[in-house]
A and B are shown apart, each in its own frame.
Chain A
Amino acid sequence: MFAIERIRIIKNYLLEKNKVSVNELSKMLDVSEVTIRRDLEKLEEEGMLIRTHGGAVLKKQTNPSNSNNMKTKSTDSTSPYSDLYEEIADIAIHIIENGDVIMLANGIINYHIAKKLDQKKNVTVLTNDLLVSIEASSSSSNKAVLLGGDVDYETKATFGALTAMDIQKFYVNKVFIEVDGIDVDTGISVSTIDKANLINSILPNSKEKIILCLGSNFNKTAFYNISRLDIAEKIVTNSNIDNSYKEYLSQLGIQLYTSINAVERGNI
């Protein structure tokens, strides 16, 4: 059995029983107690459990934070949504081709994309996000351009009149926009006016519009409306969206990428 499968089974078992013993798990999964202890250690690091003598007990989970809250750009792997962001970024990175000129608007998915940019060559990244610019410039074969403006305290990104003016100087062939709401009737929306303004200023200066969004933000409308859905060429999201959206977007001619993360590989 792959390690990743084993760990998931331990997790599920623990969630059911609240308490597990090393001996019991070792027998069930047919691996040594040392291996089980190592797995439990890993799960303890993730904050899943507390190890006890000869076993472990389930740690009471605190409520996960709201998905729209992008205040903290937490980079640690324990954030409950980090996997979902990562899955989307894993797909988006393969939409980028070597030599592309792209814009990554501020946001946590785009931050994950920036971290993966070392897989690509000669990509020029325009961004208003300080952390994205740091990641995008970490590989010498890529180039990052940071837009000037007022630095927002919460998002660590630049906004305002200066940024909008700066954007007019560029033309990108792909723009990646993270949004907070996608809805059949209201279209695409975000939760701050600064971001809405920023996106509206880049749209005319970009060729292909790629919308990024958590699956849970479908059927939602945030406060600031940007535009209708059909300006998007591509939408990248998680796989748990409604089938009716899959059908609707296909009919609109929008390429829909969902992060069906089915393949699990690992050592036996």
Chain B
Amino acid sequence: MNIPVLSLIDVHKKISDIFHLKNISIDFYPGKVCAVIGENGSGKSSLMNVISGLLPIDKGKMIFDNKPVSLSSINDGKTKGIYYVQQETNLFENLTVAENIFIDSLSYSYSPFSKIDFNEIYSMAEELFDELNVEFDPLAYVKNMNLSQRQILSFIKAYVANAKITIFDEPSSALTDIENNILFNIIDLLKSKGSSIILISHKIDRILKVGDQVAILRNGSIIEKGDLKDYSNEKIIQIISRSSRIDSFPKLHFEREEKILSIENINYKNNLNNISFSLQKQEILGIVGQSNSGKQQLIDVLFGISKPDLGNIILDGTSIHISHPHDAMEKGLALVPEDKMEFSIFGKLDLTNNLTMSSLKRFSKNYVLDNYITTNVAQNYIEKLNINPGNPQDYIIHYSGGNQQKVAFAKSIMHFAKIYILDEPTRGMDLASKNDVYNIMNNLLINGSSIIIFSSDFDEILGMSDRILVLSDGEITAELDTDHTNREELVYYLTL
């Protein structure tokens, strides 16, 4: 029993220029649940990608079933007995429930010319649902199922796979208690069959319920591991919230008395429930939430990408309707999205075009653009924001993440907005670029704008915002005054 099914010994993996998995050594035992926790960006998913074979390791050893192993792909991992249930469900929309369940496990047992016995598949699925106590129609198509049903289906798939190691990545955030119990039941059954379970979750109480061991990650390293019975809720929070950085954020102070934005009772599908908050002129409002908290939906609603089912947005004292990003920009809202390449800048266009993109109306005369003028304007922003190397004719695709971010900023600054919505504005940047971004934010405030910042970097949120909202399962569960809170309290609310 005490021989680990999988051991990682001093594993290193470079994920990006500034993020590495370092000195990862951990054992996974058959019939045990190992909970992996840590902040967003601490390396949980990267570690799972390494274990499942999605990413090859740079240094170190993986011992699987007493033999050194190197996995060449996620499929290689799967055939060897490592099954990975990712955060996003991976199902075939146009196939039925039963077909989805058995597509992995049965496809190998048929030879190319043998016929698939669908009746058998459907009756096997029925039996399975009885065993697990779930109510699914094996003949239903996946495209007609909602998100939590799809998640449950992925769990059942994992159960059928009956792998030596089963990884569940953040499975429980969008699920109800009943649905969670199905997951826990599956985990129990897998355990009794001797499978080793790796469970990534941020809900500490749930982890304490089903976990046997725990590994806490920060910044690409395991900072703590052991038997879960030695850990209390409070102790885990304490460990997660120990800050590794010193405070050096250029925070400014404004005398505020003017309200600029009120959000009243916003509801959107199942993702947002009665969201209400307000924003003052020259204020930085920080919003933190795990990846399934409804954060993306809130950004979409604020910027007119999604239309809320219910609720009011009041800007500068008047109720406004935003049904398209164009409306949002017209009304004075700007979004600097996390994924700049997809949503904000154009890799195949040069710096000048990228920078002036949102403000072309201002520079055109009779619908004609003058290159001299746009280049001149662009040049000015390139100098001011220290965009490097900064030749106006450069294609932006060759620029570093930090410089791309500055271009995305410059573009929305040029358009001038009352409220800037920033999504993970400094993720993956070096210290110097981060400092530049914070000072750009200050410049926006000095000129009368306000900022809503969504970030998973707690130090950044605590260092730059005036107030912090905690978003959890589509609801605001806490509002904290930055002067009177700390990391520990923030982590506490996030893991509730």
Q: Which residues of A contact B (CB under 8 A)?
A: 1-2, 5, 8-9, 12-13, 28-30, 90-91, 94-98, 119-121, 234, 239-240, 243-244, 246-247, 249-263, 265, 268
Contact = CB atoms under 8 A, between A and B. Distances in A.
Contacts of A90: 446
Nearest to A234: B250
Contacts of B436: 239, 246, 258, 260
Contacts of A240: 386
B253 interface: yes
B444 interface: yes
Given A9-B376, A253-B248, A255-B251, A262 B435 contact: no
A256 B377 contact: no
B372 A256 contact: no
Chain B contact residues: helix, strand, loop or mixed:
helix
B136 interface: no
Contacts of B373: 1, 9, 28-29
Given A28-B370, A243-B432, A246-B431, A258 B444 contact: no
Contact of B432 (A28, A30, A96, A246): A246
Interface in B423-476: 430-432, 434-436, 439-440, 442-447, 449
Interface of B: 246-255, 362-363, 365-366, 370, 372-373, 376-377, 380-381, 384-386, 409-410, 413, 416, 430-432, 434-436, 439-440, 442-447, 449
B435 A250 contact: yes
A256 B410 CA distance: 21
Contacts of B384: 239, 260-262
Contacts of B251: 255
B446 A250 contact: no
Contacts of A9: 372-373, 376-377
Contacts of A253: 246-248
A94 B431 contact: no
Contacts, number: 115
Contact of B447 (A1, A255, A265): A265
A257 B372 contact: no
Given A239-B436, A258-B439, A96 B372 contact: no
A266 to B, nearest CB: 10
B386 A96 contact: no
Contacts of B381: 262
Name the residue among A243, A251, A254, A265 with the largest chain B CB count within 10 angstroms: A243
A265 B444 CA distance: 11
Name the residue among A1, A8, A28, A234 with the largest chain B CB count within 10 angstroms: A1
Contacts of A28: 370, 372-373
B253 A247 contact: no
Contacts of B445: 94
A255 B439 contact: no
B413 A91 contact: no
Contact of B431 (A29, A247, A255, A260): A247
Nearest to B383: A240
Closest 5 CB pairs of A and B: A30-B365, A246-B432, A243-B432, A253-B246, A94-B252
Contacts of A5: 377, 380
Nearest to A246: B432
A263 B376 contact: no
Contacts of A263: 413, 416, 443-444, 446-447, 449
Given A263-B447, A268-B362, A91 B442 contact: yes
A91 B386 contact: no
A234 B432 CA distance: 16
10 contacts: A1-B362, A29-B365, A96-B253, A97-B253, A243-B432, A250-B431, A251-B248, A255-B249, A262-B440, A263-B416
